[in-house]
Amino acid sequence: MTAWPTPSPSPARLTGPAEPRPRLRRPEPLDPARHDRSRFDCGNRVLNEWLRRYAHQNQRRHNSVTWVVAGEEDQVVGYAALAFSAVDLSAAPAPLARHAPDPVPALLVGRLAVDLSMTGHRLGTTLVNQALAVALDASRGAGLRAVIVHAIDIDAVRFYEHLGLSPLSRDDPFDLYILTKDLAATLGSPP
């Protein structure tokens, strides 16, 4: 399990009264009987609706697993949906394609969103770290060459690049990846 990052103080938090850090549970797979998704609002209607209507359906059908972070009352405040995927070898950049099979096995972070109430608490980074930790664990038991993400907008691209992911192609800046061999260093844990 990934360690919880300590939130960096923002300039507004340095000048005003300190906000108490909300009490959150560790990331865990979505349990629709327990986790309240009804009030989740990340500011993107599509991502809100996907969590409410499709996350459990996809999980039940074994298409993806949605990892959630919830508050004390089990209200979901962040989520990341993970699924196994593959990259066509002919479309893979050189570091990903080198000595890889066709297609190249990967873990996809298909959806990632954080409730607006959690802005500034580094919850997005926590969810990415959880996804990378899942990938690292999976790579110890099955072939997994990379983690890939489909960023929803340019701000998400910058976020993922800041965390060490690289563009998957020159043609589509919204697809990024990180090699499995680099995950341990990114997470600060032994391989």
* Distance between CA atoms of residues 85 and 149, nearest Å: 10
Q: How many CB atoms lie within 10 A of CB 68?
A: 26
- What distances in angstroms separate CA 24 from CA 4, 50, 105, 124, one per listed residue? 10, 22, 33, 13
CA 105 to mean position of chain CA atoms:
18
Place of tokens 């998704």: 37
For residues 188 and 58, what is the distance between their CA atoms, to the nearest angstrom? 31
Among 54, 79, 160, 177, the one annotated catalytic: 160
Question: Does the active-site annotation cover 54?
Answer: no
Active site residues: 160
